[in-house]
Amino acid sequence: MIRSSTVRVKGYCLNGLGFHKLDRPAPTYNRKDRRLTHVQQTVAVLSLKGGVGKTTVALGLASAAMRRGIRTLVVDLDPQCNATATLDPEDSKATLTDVLADPQPSVVRDAIARSSWDGDLVDVLVGSEDAESHNVPDPSLNRLNRLATALDALPEIIDEEDDPYQLVLLDCPPSLGQLTRSALVAADRALLVTEPTMFAVSGVQRAFEAVQTERKNNEELQPLGVVVNRVRPRSHEHQFRISELREIFGPLVMPVALPDRLAVQQAQGACMPIHAWGTPGAREVSLAFNLMLARVLRAGRGRQDRPRSDSFEEEYA
């Protein structure tokens, strides 16, 4: 099936070549050009702590990308496989464990499955409990590079009728072993997730240090920002912790925080994208993910030297 990949948003049009004001004609291109010119943006979602919302952020961004017609691959690096469970893909012949043992294109192809959210737009590189065997504490450079090698093969392994992936989201486990470090070696950007609690600052600081350290193996890697999750706006404690984070990390703290809403758990439990859940709480969280995705894409457009609108985030809201 050939799908239109053009999206219109309040006076702007998004296609594979970026955003364009509707009063100006958007550049057109054919499928072959798109394969040649397209740039894949790879974002690692990490924290050094479990249960703070890494998977929720990866899935929320995938949901926002799906709503905008952006083809996305979620790579489930966590042996707990929560992202895989929520995306509920069809059976695959291989998993992440096989890819990390042998990252050749045929194995990568076998480990990618279409999600139940939208078989055209959101795919999963399927996680596995056995991936823990690849989470060695002091991996060799060869081991660290395997995920990057696998993801480099993506443009050549996708089916002829499919668009290339524009966004690749790496959902990391909560430790700094081989799996998270492989994600940092493979990514262009690192998105750090935290809750607004007492240990948030030290946790984010350690995660930043991990990103900086991994730059010796991946010069392209840049921190994209800090996402503050599960915020209760009326909690003084939360407001205090957020201002503490802003004092230390400045504009790297995302201007939009994710509120604590039951809808997040409900949508995940029902294996549905948050944008399809439809309650007021889900709409609130979805809007936050739309804004976050705009920032993620804007960082990618900077990399690709594309024209941008400074007011896009407000336009999109």
Structure token pair of residue 165? 């992936």
Total residues belonging to the chain: 317
- In Å, what is the CA distance from 171 to each residue of 33, 54, 73, 240? 30, 7, 11, 28
What is the distance in angstroms between the CA of the first residue and the CA of the last residue of the chain? 31
Q: Residue numbers of the site for ligand ADP (CB under 6 A)?
A: 50-56, 82, 229-230, 258, 260-261, 264-265, 268
What's the min distance (Å) between Cβ of 52 and Mg ion? Answer: 9
- In Å, what is the CA distance from 275 to each residue of 3, 282, 292? 20, 7, 14
Residue 264 touches which of Mg ion, ligand ADP, none (Cβ within 5-8 Å per kind): ligand ADP
* CB-nearer residue toward ligand ADP: 139 or 281: 281
What's the min distance (Å) between Cβ of 17 and Mg ion? Answer: 33
Contacts of 101 (CB under 8 A, 6+ apart): 134
What's the min distance (Å) between Cβ of 222 and ligand ADP? Answer: 21
Residue 51 touches which of Mg ion, ligand ADP, none (Cβ within 5-8 Å per kind): ligand ADP
Told to check if 54 binds Mg ion by CB under 5 A, we report yes
Told to check if 55 binds Mg ion by CB under 5 A, we report yes
The letter for the amino acid at 122 is V
Run of H or E residues at 43:
strand 41-46
* CB-nearer residue toward ligand ADP: 82 or 175: 82
Phi-psi category of 259—alpha, beta or left, where left has phi over 0 and alpha has psi -120 to 50? beta
Structure token pair of residue 102? 């042998």
Contact 43, 170 (CB under 8 A): yes
Run of H or E residues at 299:
helix 280-304
Residue 53 touches which of ligand ADP, Mg ion, none (Cβ within 5-8 Å per kind): ligand ADP
* CB-nearer residue toward ligand ADP: 55 or 72: 55
What's the min distance (Å) between Cβ of 19 and ligand ADP? Answer: 28
* CB-nearer residue toward Mg ion: 5 or 128: 128
Q: What are phi and psi of 27, to 5 degrees?
A: -60, 145
What's the min distance (Å) between Cβ of 273 and Mg ion? Answer: 16
What's the min distance (Å) between Cβ of 83 and ligand ADP? Answer: 8
Range in contact with Mg ion (rule: CB under 5 A) among 49-57, 114-122, 243-251, 282-290: 49-57
Binding positions for Mg ion, rule: CB under 5 A: 54-55, 78, 82
